[in-house]
């Protein structure tokens, strides 16, 4: 899944949006992210152009932009409004992958949107004719992050109904409660438990890890309400919670 999809998604159960997205692992080659660090330091926009194409038209004094966010050619002032609309979505993304990508996200959250706020406060294009040049590098970076980089594993949570949805092998799994694969998805929670907040791990709907245990000997995961003398159904080890 690409992070940009978040702007098109709502919770399938309660329809709330935006969902909160946590990225655990990228499918995109980690070399790409390492490389991106030098791209950021030296603002090498040409290197970003290899992965994403943004159409920028300059007709006399007017600039029109078409990218993965606006989808059609828009005059710059309208285009900036489109960017502004996805600000809440961007703030809902957290990168827990321990790669350089979190730096990119920080840069987008801070630098790009600070410039947009400054632009809005200065009341638009007339007062800031060079605004596109100021934003350009960050716009490339934003498109790269949202529409080129592919998430392999992550989680989406809904703040309203408290549900969680996994992203497994790049696919967001947003199924109704009754057909969710409980065992498989609990194993997923267990796998990433260090990157998920306790509230989700132990309380989220439609199921969580509150009564889930991992056998210390064989690693088998199972449900139990017992505190003492728990017997692993796989290897028969007796242990306490």
Question: Which residues of this chain interact with Zn ion, rule CB under 5 A?
Answer: 11, 13-14, 16, 158, 160-161, 215, 217-218, 220, 232, 234-235, 237
Alpha-carbon distance 221 to 235, whole Å?
A: 11
Instruction: Give the list of residues 6+ apart from residue 181 with CB closer than 8 angstroms, or none.
Output: none
Residue 7 exposed, middle or buried by CB count within 10 Å (0-12, 13-18, 19+): middle
Q: Minimum CB separation from Zn ion for residue 10, in Å?
A: 8
Q: Minimum CB separation from Zn ion for residue 11, in Å?
A: 3
Give the other-Cβ count within 10 Å of 27's Cβ.
12
Cβ atoms of 170 and 150 closer than 8 Å: yes
**CA-based R_g, the chain, Å:** 22
Alpha-carbon distance 240 to 206, whole Å?
A: 27
The residue assigned the tokens 């890890």 is 209
Determine the length of the chain: 241
The residue assigned the tokens 């502004």 is 84
Q: Minimum CB separation from Zn ion for residue 162, in Å?
A: 7
- In this complex, which beta carbon is closest to Zn ion, that of residue 43 or of residue 159? 159
- In this complex, which beta carbon is closest to Zn ion, that of residue 110 or of residue 234? 234
Q: Minimum CB separation from Zn ion for residue 233, in Å?
A: 8
Give the other-Cβ count within 10 Å of 31's Cβ.
8
- In this complex, which beta carbon is closest to Zn ion, that of residue 120 or of residue 220? 220
Cβ atoms of 197 and 189 closer than 8 Å: no
Q: Minimum CB separation from Zn ion for residue 161, in Å?
A: 3
Q: Minimum CB separation from Zn ion for residue 12, in Å?
A: 8
- In this complex, which beta carbon is closest to Zn ion, that of residue 67 or of residue 185? 185
- In this complex, which beta carbon is closest to Zn ion, that of residue 55 or of residue 160? 160
* Element housing 106 (H / E): helix 101-107
- In this complex, which beta carbon is closest to Zn ion, that of residue 13 or of residue 202? 13
Q: Minimum CB separation from Zn ion for residue 13, in Å?
A: 5
- In this complex, which beta carbon is closest to Zn ion, that of residue 70 or of residue 157? 157
| Conformational region of residue 41, where left means phi above 0, alpha means psi within -120 to 50, and beta covers everything else | alpha
């Amino acid at each position: 899944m690409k992070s940009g999809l978040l702007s098109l998604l709502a919770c399938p159960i309660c329809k709330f949006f935006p969902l909160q997205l946590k990225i655990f692992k990228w499918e995109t080659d980690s070399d790409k992210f390492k490389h991106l660090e030098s791209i950021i330091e030296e603002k090498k926009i040409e290197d970003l152009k290899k992965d994403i194409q943004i159409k920028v038209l300059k007709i006399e004094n007017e600039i029109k932009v078409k990218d993965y966010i606006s989808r059609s050619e828009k005059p710059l002032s309208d285009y900036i409004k489109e960017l502004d609309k996805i600000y809440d979505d961007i703030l809902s993304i957290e990168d827990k992958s321990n790669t350089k990508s979190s730096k990119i996200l920080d840069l987008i959250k801070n630098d790009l949107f600070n410039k947009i706020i400054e632009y809005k406060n200065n009341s638009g294009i007339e007062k800031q004719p060079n605004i596109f040049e100021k934003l350009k590098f960050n716009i490339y970076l934003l498109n790269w992050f949202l529409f080129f980089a592919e998430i392999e594993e992550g989680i989406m949570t809904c703040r309203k109904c408290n549900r969680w949805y996994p992203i497994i092998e790049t696919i967001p799994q947003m199924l109704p409660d009754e057909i969710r694969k409980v065992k498989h998805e609990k194993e997923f929670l267990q796998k990433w438990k260090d990157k998920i907040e306790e509230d989700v791990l132990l309380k989220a709907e439609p199921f969580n890890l509150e009564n889930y245990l991992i056998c210390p000997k064989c690693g088998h995961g199972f449900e139990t309400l017992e505190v003492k003398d728990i017997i692993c159904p796989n290897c028969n080890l007796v242990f306490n919670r």
